[in-house]
């Protein structure tokens, strides 16, 4: 059974499953090169994931959507206003939100609003294709459920700026049953959560107050926070009381009132102090929430999803909660991961939870599988200096030891926001100054150090890695302390608070990436390398060989490495 997953909101994208196994994933921005793009129905990423799997739309058996916007031409006339019907008759493109109609009419039956036959024809699907419409937060939670193998004492939580009238969701997995604790379908029908209680929106407002773009630059505040003082953190925490049932409340009326309250608190503060205040407050609010949930629903494991859990410092604190044996953060934790959860939701709805495979992710390489030869041939065609060599790994390690900056182009691009060895910029971690030089070349303004990657055999030696965080560290979704004896030796990847955001790499996951670091360690004695995403400021991460070569031509990097060789700028 082929199941196509689609989300068209911000961070739009698509994925494809064969039964309950993920085959392909693509975020829309990687194709159209518009950061965080979405808000429209006709996605290029739909056909891209089908291309990756080698099938057509006629071979799809089911489509799992979020309750997103759909073309007005696919809605029933009875639910549309005059302007929508007029556009429908005239064939003008416009889309309506399914979730908003469900909320307005307190009805979760998508067939009441959408004409399924018209939707199938619009999409070029067979007439018998099943259509499924997944709750926003359920999709988040199920994406993390699919890739953790704990069978009991599991708390699954999601938290973001909002979706389907909720900002928080919590479930418990015990005795092979998934129990909804908070943030289920009741939010759409009769009990919408108060948007003023959204710590995700509060973080977005703080991002805007610092002059950055909300829903895009929150990570900048996480780094900036270490340089400020949390002067109003306590006042922010007071806006988000948590009750004994693990519900977060607010005395404010709505998100606009929250915005105004935060604006007053932030008045006169430096950006550093705003960042420190919202970071510390977010940590405390989420920890308060989880502690309340754990008191009522004891658990040994926590699985996290939703955009708030892209906050790697927060995730470190969650892993340190008393009694927690392991945590997992779904690597595509933001809305780009919703298509995955929607497909899992359809599988459970049609086959039952007992038939869901629940194993651990081994990699995130789900894009189009480009080969090293694709890059080398493109480089020759476009006039770059190409070196095909069986010694490319050792050459790369020496170049990095000589403080050159390279990028690896290996196979399929990664799922999620992190570069994890398929589209990664590499550099020596020995000098803190490399951060400034690379950021200048990439036109970035960053406050965190670059993340490191480390061989599986060295992880515990260099970083505070243990059973609680090791799985999360495979996907760079959590910070850890750096061992004191290593901090000065790998200064480029250590933040001012003594932490780093490491990626643990196993050779089977990416042999080229692994072998480059092993060779670099052999030359320098350093067991870690800089890993920063292969993109310039405000650009999505590189996807194609041509995009990688353009970055080389633009002097973003000194060289490219792939299976079978290296590429350098054209000789002058």
What domains lie within the chain, and their CATH numbers? 2-136 (3.30.420), 148-329 (3.30.420.40), 372-568 (3.90.870.20)
The CA-based diameter of the chain, rounded to the nearest angstrom, is: 71
The percentage of the chain sitting over the pLDDT mark of 70, rounded to a whole number, equals 97
The mean per-residue pLDDT over the stretch 532-549 comes to 94
**Which has the closest alpha carbon to 272: 227, 214, 220?**
227
Q: How far is CA 292 from CA 139, 243, 333, in A?
A: 23, 7, 23
Do 193 and 183 meet the contact criterion of CB atoms below 8 Å apart? yes
- Asked if residue 448 has pLDDT above 70, the reply is no
Confidence of residue 176 (pLDDT cuts 50, 70, 90): confident
Q: Hey, CA dihedral for 438, 439, 441, 442, is it positive or negative?
A: positive
Give the pLDDT of residue 570.
87
- Asked if residue 446 has pLDDT above 80, the reply is no
Taking only the tens place, the pLDDT of each residue in 185-213 is 999 898 999 999 999 999 999 999 999 99
Under DSSP, is residue 524 helix (H, G, I), strand (E, B) or coil? Answer: helix
Count of C-beta atoms within a 10 Å radius of residue 404: 15
Based on the number of CB atoms within 10 Å of its own CB, is 537 exposed (0-12), middle (13-18) or buried (19 or more)?
exposed
Confidence of residue 87 (pLDDT cuts 50, 70, 90): low
The mean per-residue pLDDT over the stretch 283-306 comes to 98
Calpha distance 289→282 (Å, rounded): 11
Calpha distance 295→300 (Å, rounded): 12
- Asked if residue 92 has pLDDT above 70, the reply is no
Residue 307: which region, alpha, beta or left (left: phi > 0; alpha: psi -120 to 50)? alpha
- Asked if residue 443 has pLDDT above 90, the reply is no
Give the pLDDT of residue 78.
77
- Asked if residue 287 has pLDDT above 60, the reply is yes
DSSP assignment letter at 213 = -
Calpha distance 197→423 (Å, rounded): 37
The mean per-residue pLDDT over the stretch 285-296 comes to 98
Taking only the tens place, the pLDDT of each residue in 128-139 is 999 999 999 999
Confidence of residue 502 (pLDDT cuts 50, 70, 90): very high
The mean per-residue pLDDT over the stretch 503-526 comes to 98
The mean per-residue pLDDT over the stretch 29-56 comes to 96
Mean pLDDT of the chain: 95
Give the pLDDT of residue 541.
97
- Asked if residue 93 has pLDDT above 90, the reply is no
Taking only the tens place, the pLDDT of each residue in 373-424 is 999 999 999 999 999 999 999 999 999 999 999 999 999 999 999 999 999 9
Under DSSP, is residue 223 helix (H, G, I), strand (E, B) or coil? Answer: helix
Taking only the tens place, the pLDDT of each residue in 244-275 is 999 999 999 999 999 999 999 999 999 999 99
Q: Three-state secondary structure along 100-130?
A: HHHHHHCCCCHHHHECHHHHHHHHCCCCCCE
Calpha distance 570→572 (Å, rounded): 6
Calpha distance 13→336 (Å, rounded): 6
Q: Name the residue with higher pLDDT: 474 or 81.
A: 474
Give the pLDDT of residue 83.
64
Q: What share of the chain is helix, strand, coil (3-state, %, to 5)?
A: 40, 20, 40
Confidence of residue 80 (pLDDT cuts 50, 70, 90): confident
The mean per-residue pLDDT over the stretch 271-300 comes to 98
Length of the chain counted residue by residue: 572
DSSP string, 258-310: HHHHHHHHHTT--HHHHHHHHHHHHHHHHHHHHHHHHHHS--SEEEEESGGGG
Pairing verdict, β 480-481 and 451-455: unpaired
Taking only the tens place, the pLDDT of each residue in 228-240 is 999 999 999 999 9
Do 435 and 496 meet the contact criterion of CB atoms below 8 Å apart? no
The percentage of the chain sitting over the pLDDT mark of 90, rounded to a whole number, equals 91
Confidence of residue 89 (pLDDT cuts 50, 70, 90): low
Confidence of residue 330 (pLDDT cuts 50, 70, 90): very high
Under DSSP, is residue 505 helix (H, G, I), strand (E, B) or coil? Answer: strand
Give the pLDDT of residue 236.
98
Calpha distance 404→274 (Å, rounded): 36
């Amino acid at each position: 059974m082929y199941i196509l997953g689609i989300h068209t909101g911000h961070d739009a994208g698509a994925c494809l499953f064969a039964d309950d196994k993920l085959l392909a994933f693509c975020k829309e921005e990687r194709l159209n090169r518009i950061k965080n793009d979405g808000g429209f129905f006709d996605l290029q990423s739909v056909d891209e994931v089908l291309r990756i799997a080698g099938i057509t739309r006629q071979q799809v058996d089911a489509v799992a959507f979020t309750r997103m916007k759909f073309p007005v031409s696919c809605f029933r006339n009875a639910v549309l206003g005059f302007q929508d019907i007029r556009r429908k008759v005239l064939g003008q493109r416009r889309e309506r939100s399914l979730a908003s109609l469900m909320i307005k009419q307190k009805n979760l039956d998508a067939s009441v609003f959408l004409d399924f036959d018209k939707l199938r024809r619009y999409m070029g699907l067979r007439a018998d294709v099943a259509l499924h419409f997944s709750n926003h937060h359920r999709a988040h939670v199920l994406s993390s459920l699919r890739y953790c193998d704990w069978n009991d004492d599991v708390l699954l939580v999601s938290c973001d700026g909002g979706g389907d009238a909720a900002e928080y969701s919590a479930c418990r997995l015990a005795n092979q049953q998934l129990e909804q604790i908070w943030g289920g379908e009741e939010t759409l029908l009769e009990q919408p959560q108060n948007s003023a209680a959204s710590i995700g929106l509060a973080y977005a407002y703080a991002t805007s107050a610092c002059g950055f773009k909300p829903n895009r630059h929150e990570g900048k505040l996480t780094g900036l926070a270490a340089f400020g003082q949390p002067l109003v953190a306590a006042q922010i925490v007071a806006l988000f009381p948590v009750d004994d049932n693990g519900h977060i409340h607010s005395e404010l009326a709505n998100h606009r009132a929250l915005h105004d309250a935060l604006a007053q608190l932030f008045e006169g503060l430096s950006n550093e102090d705003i960042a420190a205040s919202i970071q510390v407050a977010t940590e405390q609010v989420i920890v308060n929430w989880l502690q309340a949930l754990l008191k009522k629903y004891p658990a040994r494991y926590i699985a996290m999803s939703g955009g708030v859990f892209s906050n790697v410092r927060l995730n470190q604190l969650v892993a340190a909660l008393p009694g927690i044996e392991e945590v997992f953060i779904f690597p595509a934790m933001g809305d780009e991961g919703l298509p995955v959860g929607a497909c899992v939701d359809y599988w459970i709805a049609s086959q039952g939870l007992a038939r869901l495979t629940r194993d651990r992710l081994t990699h995130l390489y789900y894009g189009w599988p480009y080969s090293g030869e694709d890059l080398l041939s493109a480089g020759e065609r476009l006039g770059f200096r190409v070196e095909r060599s069986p010694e490319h790994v050792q050459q790369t390690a020496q170049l990095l030891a000589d403080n050159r900056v390279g990028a690896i182009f290996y196979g399929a691009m990664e799922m999620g926001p992190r570069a994890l060895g398929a589209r990664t910029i590499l550099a020596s971690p020995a000098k803190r100054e490399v951060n400034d030089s690379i950021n200048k070349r990439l036109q970035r303004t960053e406050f965190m150090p670059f993340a490191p990657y480390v061989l599986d055999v060295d992880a515990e030696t260099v970083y505070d890695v243990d059973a609680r965080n090791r799985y999360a560290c495979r996907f760079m979704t959590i910070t850890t302390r750096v061992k004191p004896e290593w901090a000065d030796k790998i200064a480029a990847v250590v933040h001012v608070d003594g932490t780093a955001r490491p990626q643990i790499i196993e050779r089977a996951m990416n042999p080229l990436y692994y072998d480059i670091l092993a060779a670099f360690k052999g030359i320098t004695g350093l067991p870690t390398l800089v890993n920063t995403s292969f993109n310039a400021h405000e650009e999505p991460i590189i996807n194609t060989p041509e995009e990688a070569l353009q970055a080389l031509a633009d002097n973003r990097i000194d060289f490219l490495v792939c299976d079978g060789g290296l590429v350098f700028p054209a000789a002058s």
